[in-house]
Structure 1
Amino acid sequence: MITSITNKKVKNIVQLNKKAGQRRKEGVFIAEGIKMFLEAPDSYIQEVYVSESFLRSLGEGEKSKSTSVGEAATAVREKLKRCGYETANDDVFTKISDTQTPQGILCILKQFHYSFEDIMKKEGIPLFLMLESLQDPGNLGTIIRTGEGAGVTGVIMSKDTVDIYNPKTIRSTMGSVYRVPFLYVEDIVQTVEKLKRNGIQTYAAHLKGEKSYYQCDYRSGAAFLIGNEGNGLSAALAETADEYIKIPMKGEVESLNAAVSASLLVYEVTRQREGI
């Protein structure tokens, strides 16, 4: 059991939570909580840490009269046996956790790596989200999660977009980060041109848009360009769009949160493609 916050492993986990550079250097990231642990691919898990109180709660959970609680506790125990784990006292676990109310379990996983070719091989009619310079980790996580729900092919990001392995982003994905292909690119304008050469129409939510987003036909390959929370799309990226679209708004609202905009757009695609 780890009982000291000066333990070498404890110090490393704290740095992994805080620093994107450290995560990149080691090629890993941290996922916290029962759901994130259970959904994590076994082959990507490198280390697992649990708190003393969490281990006690597992035993209580298996004895619970609630079927769902008992099943969850059993599932966690079975996965812990497969993956192995280290126990930390509660004070140490609080130190390595990135949340104010830790659930008592976290794991260190290998980072995912996809190429443009990998993403293009995915089955189905292509649907991409192209993110430029997003800076809010919660926004990015919500976009990844919503993207999975709407069946996106992949999420492609400019290199200056917030780190997808930021702990806040990982929590916001609620497990979708394990399943949605994503890619950071050096030149997002060139990448958009590559998509267009593959027959994918590109759309930018833009003040110059004349059509409302629901007036376009997205039943063939489509990609939406989503810009920075404060500044929107750069002129260079906006100019690559085949069509500008607008999201109608009432009152004095000028724009929507990036994640909300992305959600509206991808679910309109789902509505059209499923003939709803």
Structure 2
Amino acid sequence: MITSSANGKVKQVMNLIKKAKARNDSGLFVAEGLRIFKEIPPELIDSVFVSESFLKEAEQRRLVSGLKHEVLTDEVFSAMSDTRSPQGILALVKQRSYTTEDLIRAPGPAFLLILETIQDPGNLGTIIRAGEGAGITGVLMNSTTADIYNPKVIRSTMGSVFRVPFAYTSDLTASILQLKERGIQLYAAHLDGRNNYEKEDYTVDTGFLIGNEANGLSEDIAKLADAYIKIPMMGRVESLNAAVAASVLMFETARQRREQSLLKK
């Protein structure tokens, strides 16, 4: 049993929680909590840490019985944890690697989100979780978007991070041009939008450009869209949170594709 927060393995976990460089160098990230632990594909689990109290429940003992795991005192686990109320289990998980090609390889029309400098981890996690619910085929992000392996992002995805393909690009413009060459229609929510968002056809290969929370899309990236669309507002609201706007567009796409599928039957 690990009884000190000075233990090397505990220090490794704490470093992975705090530093993106440590995550990048090791190819590992931290997934903490009972629900998300159950979502981890077994082949991606590198190591498991549990608290003394966690093992008092028979069902929880069974959950880790076939896995090599480290047991920590409750105090040490709490010191290591990134949450206010630790549930007593976390895993170090192997990172996955995707290419832009992986994002458009799914059967059926492509359905992508292209994110420019989304900085809030909660927003990024929410976008990925909502994206899985809407059926997106992938997420493309520029290098200044938040680290998807940040523990706050991982928690916000509620497991979707293990199922939604994603890729970072150091040259967002070049990657977007690559998508356009493949015939993917790109839309940007914009004040100069030609149509309300529900007037466009998203049943074909489609991608949505979503910009930074404070500044929106940069002018250069926005110009790459095939069309500007707008989400009409009532009251004094001028714009929506990036995750909310992305969700509106994604679920309209999902609705259109469901209707098209029903018409084909």
TM-score, L = length of structure 2? 0.96
**Could you say which residue in structure 2 is the equivalent of 1:273?**
257
Q: Given the alignment of the two structures, is residue 235 of structure 1 paired with residue 219 of structure 2, yes or no? A: yes
**Could you say which residue in structure 1 is the equivalent of 2:6?**
6
Aligned length: 260
Q: Given the alignment of the two structures, is residue 172 of structure 1 paired with residue 156 of structure 2, yes or no? A: yes
Q: Given the alignment of the two structures, is residue 187 of structure 1 paired with residue 171 of structure 2, yes or no? A: yes
- Contact persistence 2:103–2:112 (CA under 8 A): no
Task: Tell me how far apart the structure 1 counterparts of residues 95 and 66 of structure 2 sit (CA, whole Å).
Answer: 20
Q: Given the alignment of the two structures, is residue 29 of structure 1 paired with residue 13 of structure 2, yes or no? A: no
Larger displacement relative to structure 2 (174-183 or 192-201): 192-201
- Contact persistence 2:37–2:91 (CA under 8 A): yes
Larger displacement relative to structure 2 (132-141 or 208-217): 208-217
- Structure 1 stretches (4+) deviating beyond 3 angstroms? 76-79
Task: Tell me how far apart the structure 1 counterparts of residues 83 and 144 of structure 2 sit (CA, whole Å).
Answer: 25
Larger displacement relative to structure 2 (177-186 or 245-254): 245-254
Q: Paired residue for 2:69, among 85, 97, 112?
A: 85
**Could you say which residue in structure 2 is the equivalent of 1:196?**
180
- Per-residue CA deviations over 1:64-99 (Å, capped at 9, x if unaligned) read xxxxxxxxx2xx544413322110000000011100
- Contact persistence 2:54–2:61 (CA under 8 A): no
The structural deviation recorded for 1:12 is: 1.3
Q: Given the alignment of the two structures, is residue 105 of structure 1 paired with residue 89 of structure 2, yes or no? A: yes
Q: Which runs of 5+ in 1 are unaligned?
A: 60-72
Larger displacement relative to structure 2 (165-174 or 112-121): 112-121
The structural deviation recorded for 1:120 is: 2.1
- Per-residue CA deviations over 1:212-247 (Å, capped at 9, x if unaligned) read 101111110100000000000001100000000001
- Per-residue CA deviations over 1:39-61 (Å, capped at 9, x if unaligned) read 101111011000001111x22xx
Helix, strand or coil at the partner of 1:113: coil
Q: Paired residue for 1:213, among 178, 194, 197?
A: 197
Larger displacement relative to structure 2 (183-192 or 166-175): 183-192
Task: Tell me how far apart the structure 2 counterparts of residues 274 and 182 of structure 1 sit (CA, whole Å).
Answer: 24
Task: Tell me how far apart the structure 2 counterparts of residues 30 and 127 of structure 1 sit (CA, whole Å).
Answer: 28
Task: Tell me how far apart the structure 1 counterparts of residues 65 and 107 of structure 2 sit (CA, whole Å).
Answer: 35
Corresponding letter in the other structure for 2:42? D
Q: Given the alignment of the two structures, is residue 44 of structure 1 paired with residue 44 of structure 2, yes or no? A: yes
- Contact persistence 1:42–1:83 (CA under 8 A): no
Task: Tell me how far apart the structure 2 counterparts of residues 45 and 83 of structure 1 sit (CA, whole Å).
Answer: 9
Task: Tell me how far apart the structure 1 counterparts of residues 62 and 102 of structure 2 sit (CA, whole Å).
Answer: 32
- Contact persistence 1:51–1:89 (CA under 8 A): yes
Alignment of 1:227-266 (within 5 A): 227-266=211-250
Helix, strand or coil at the partner of 1:43: helix
Task: Tell me how far apart the structure 1 counterparts of residues 139 and 227 of structure 2 sit (CA, whole Å).
Answer: 19
- Supply the RMSD in Å over aligned alpha carbons: 1.1
**Could you say which residue in structure 1 is the equivalent of 2:20?**
20
**Could you say which residue in structure 1 is the equivalent of 2:263?**
none
